[in-house]
Amino acid sequence: MDFTILINIVYIIAAILFALGLKMLSSPESARKGNLISAVGMFLAVVATLLTKGLSFQWIVLGIFIGSILGIFAARLIAMTAMPEMVALLNGFGGIASLLVGWAVFHAGLRVELLTIITVFLSVLIGGVTFTGSIVAWGKLSGVFPSKSLLFQGQKILNLTLLLSILTCGIVFISNPAANYQAFLLIVALSFFLGISSVIPIGGADMPVVISLLNSYSGLAACAAGFVIKNNILIVAGALVGASGIILTRIMCKAMNRSIANVLFSGFGSVIKQAVGEEKGDIKPINVQDAYLILEAAKSVVFVPGYGLAVAQAQHVVRELGGLLEENGCEVEYAIHPVAGRMPGHMNVLLAEANVPYDQLFEMDNINPKFNAVDVCVVIGANDVVNPAALHDKTSPIYGMPIIEAYKAKTVFVLKRSMATGFAGIPNELFFYENTRMLFGDAKKTISGLVAEFKES
């Protein structure tokens, strides 16, 4: 029996469920249900596909079994702080899957029309770049590779040469696919190489942009695979993901006041080092006891988390301190910069994990107007995103980047391990402000100290 029509109707339903699921992600209340609806769509699409005529199930079952086990374990065991790594890997797996589908279709040798071969080429190219690019991003995020940007002479020329070589091989391959299998294999190898060489120069703090971009590539790769097998649902789903990645990329770039080209090609962290300004005034350290006295008297406290919070795993003690402050009659809020952490929304997930209610989490634009009325702003492991130099110092490399205006608070506590500069190597003038007090040491220990002070009193 031929189920083609039924399969296609189910695909339409799946597309509707994907769209609905994404729509429900517009509010935290409905988001979880939206994710479930999207998963149901996926389940239906898979089941319908299994009705395709003449499929043999042994390899399918094996593949799904292995993939499910790995997926379940990964999803259960991953720490919330390691979410950027997980997303980077998932991006890469999406890419390699599309590459493999394109490759398998070519080997099946059933269809040799020109347009199909072109789409095979595209799905291999995008899939390959996404795969190795994501693996490099994963390596940088998890510390397997050095996370700083790695620039070398002739990098742009190398990447351009790679791209041109791939296109040349592509033309050779497309002109006569059956006779030019070597050209195809070369395309696979060069795409892998291009993925590596284009992500290697990008430093750790620029990872939010790279992950977003790779996210969008993984969607485009699915789209390309959809053209290869002439399947609507792949195109619709791939386009939704591609659009999502592009939107996130744009938001991240805007939050850093940089163009996408600047992020991809300039190797931010390495270029900046020479632009070190002079220190202005003295820094004023404070100890935990004195900090406690100030917090104890505060009526309004805002926490500004950054990547350092994730590194120190301090989200739970921060929540505890927040709770104690609230019991003390203080208003507690969290100000989150769009590029804080290593991926979009990273800080929100960490704080949600520590049971911070999401109505206490504020976006930069919503909290900035309130800072004049804030008694104490506690900056935890954030640096460049609170640097006032971005607002007025035209010589600063981050000039023009929107910041969280922590400096407007009556008192600013900066929790920091040492006076070393932030990722970008830019001195932070906030540390020298009259109202700033430095709390040196491990963020988790410092906050635990404050919690202990509160509990003793």
Partner 1 sequence: MGIDLFIFLLFILVLSVFLGFELISKVPSILHTPLMSGSNAISGITLVGALVSAGAESNTISTTLGTLAVVFATINVVGGYLVTDRMLKMFKKR
Q: Alpha-carbon distance 137 to 131, whole Å?
A: 10
Q: Which of 2, 206, 375, 384 is catalytic?
A: 384
Minimal distance in Å, beta carbon 381 to partner 1?
18
Minimal distance in Å, beta carbon 188 to partner 1?
11
Minimal distance in Å, beta carbon 209 to partner 1?
13
151 φ, ψ (degrees, to nearest 5): -110, 145
Query: Which is nearer to partner 1, 66 or 276 (by Cβ)?
Result: 66
Query: Which is nearer to partner 1, 96 or 439 (by Cβ)?
Result: 96
Scanning residues 198 to 237, which ones bind partner 1 (CB under 8 A)? 211-212, 215, 218-219, 221-223, 225-237
Q: Alpha-carbon distance 349 to 342, whole Å?
A: 12
Q: Alpha-carbon distance 94 to 218, whole Å?
A: 5
Binding mask 1-30 for partner 1 (x = CB under 8 A): -----------------xx-xxx-xxxxx-
Q: Alpha-carbon distance 39 to 48, whole Å?
A: 14
Eight-state DSSP code of residue 375: S
Query: Which is nearer to partner 1, 46 or 452 (by Cβ)?
Result: 46
Given candidates 1, 2, 5, 57, which one binds partner 1 under the rule CB under 8 A?
57
Q: Alpha-carbon distance 12 to 236, whole Å?
A: 10
Scanning residues 350 to 409, which ones bind partner 1 (CB under 8 A)? 352-353, 355, 357-361, 363
Scanning residues 80 to 139, which ones bind partner 1 (CB under 8 A)? 80, 83, 86-87, 90-91, 93-94, 96-98, 100-101, 103-105, 107-111, 113, 115-116, 119
| Amino acid at position 278, single letter | E
Minimal distance in Å, beta carbon 351 to partner 1?
9
Query: Which is nearer to partner 1, 361 or 438 (by Cβ)?
Result: 361
Scanning residues 163 to 182, which ones bind partner 1 (CB under 8 A)? none
**Of how many residues is the chain composed?**
457
Given candidates 1, 2, 5, 56, which one binds partner 1 under the rule CB under 8 A?
56
Given candidates 1, 2, 5, 76, which one binds partner 1 under the rule CB under 8 A?
76
Task: For residue 179, count CB atoms less than 10 angstroms from its CB and return exposed for 0-12, middle for 13-18, buried for 19 or more.
Answer: exposed
Query: Which is nearer to partner 1, 21 or 427 (by Cβ)?
Result: 21
Given candidates 323, 345, 388, 441, which one binds partner 1 under the rule CB under 8 A?
345
For residue 365, indicate whether it is catalytic: no
328 φ, ψ (degrees, to nearest 5): -80, 5
Neighbours of 356 (CB within 10 A): 24
Scanning residues 231 to 270, which ones bind partner 1 (CB under 8 A)? 231-248, 251
Query: Cα angle at 340 between 337 and 342, to 5 degrees?
Result: 150
Q: What H or E segment, with its residue span, contains residue 376? A: strand 376-380
Eight-state DSSP code of residue 400: T
Q: Alpha-carbon distance 297 to 325, whole Å?
A: 10
Query: Cα angle at 28 between 23 and 33, to 5 degrees?
Result: 60
Q: What H or E segment, with its residue span, contains residue 333? A: strand 331-336
Query: Which is nearer to partner 1, 72 or 297 (by Cβ)?
Result: 72
Query: Which is nearer to partner 1, 241 or 426 (by Cβ)?
Result: 241
| Contact status: 183 vs partner 1 (CB under 8 A) | no
* Residues belonging to the active site: 384
